[in-house]
Amino acid sequence: MKKIVSYNLNGIRSAMTKGLMEWIKAVDPDILCFQELKAEPGQLDLKIFEDAGYHHYWYPAQKKGYSGVAIFTKQKPDHIEYGCGIPEYDFEGRVIRVDYGDISVMSVYHPSGSSGEERQAFKMKWLADFQKYINELKKQRPKLIISGDYNICHQPIDIHNPKSNANSSGFLPEERDWIDSFMKSGFVDSFRHFNKEPHNYTWWTFRQGARGKNLGWRIDYNLVSTNLESKMKRAVILPDAVHSDHCPVVLEIDF
């Protein structure tokens, strides 16, 4: 059994000052998929992670203090793939993959489009290119777990106010269509597989005490290729972990 955690940290250095390491030791994941590190490995004391039993693989953005993904894993992978081979995305440090036998785990940080039209256009181009990239990858690596911040709510149940957010980036019809078709291309939303209840979110704005009132969005996922669906044992969201404006999402799976 492997316990996989996906967590957008909104800055790993900030999260470390809020007790991230103690939390990791308590939860004891086998694989940690981090997004939005906003740091490079040289900016932290890495011995802390190594002493806790983790191999760590980082793919920071070229721009300092921005984006970046990493995978921390107790079991040494057979192979690590840095980036997706598309320069404009790899410049932003958005994809890293580790392979264990015939199973691959990815940490992915999908772009946000909330800052304006230019980034929204970038996001839509990324989504189309990411689907193509995964379609190709599946030919060699059909057993995939794609963990990360997708920056999209799939259904009205995944957002606290679907009506007022109908024109908000992250809940636009074209984004929702994309994630729906992406899942239909061969992936299971592991959390919804086990939990059909409303009011389960993974991100809250820092404004207006949104987290205390649970006015959130579910934009972080562990998507599992359908050929591994029967191996899934449990999936939960951990909203009480408060190292970030996101919270961790957990998948327990046999492999």
Instruction: Report, as residue numbers or ranges, the catalytic residues.
Output: 149
Does residue 8 contact residue 220 with C-beta atoms inside 8 Å?
yes
| Helical packing angle, 117-140 and 173-184, nearest 10° | 0
31-35 and 2-8 beta bridge pairing = parallel
* CB environment 202-214: b (16+ within 10 A), e (fewer): bbbeeeeebbeee
Within 8 A by CB and 6+ apart from 215, the residues are 160, 161, 204, 205, 208
Can you read off the two tokens belonging to residue 232? 């899934």
Does residue 243 contact residue 24 with C-beta atoms inside 8 Å?
no
Residue 43, CA distances (Å) to 13, 73, 109, 233 in order: 8, 20, 20, 36
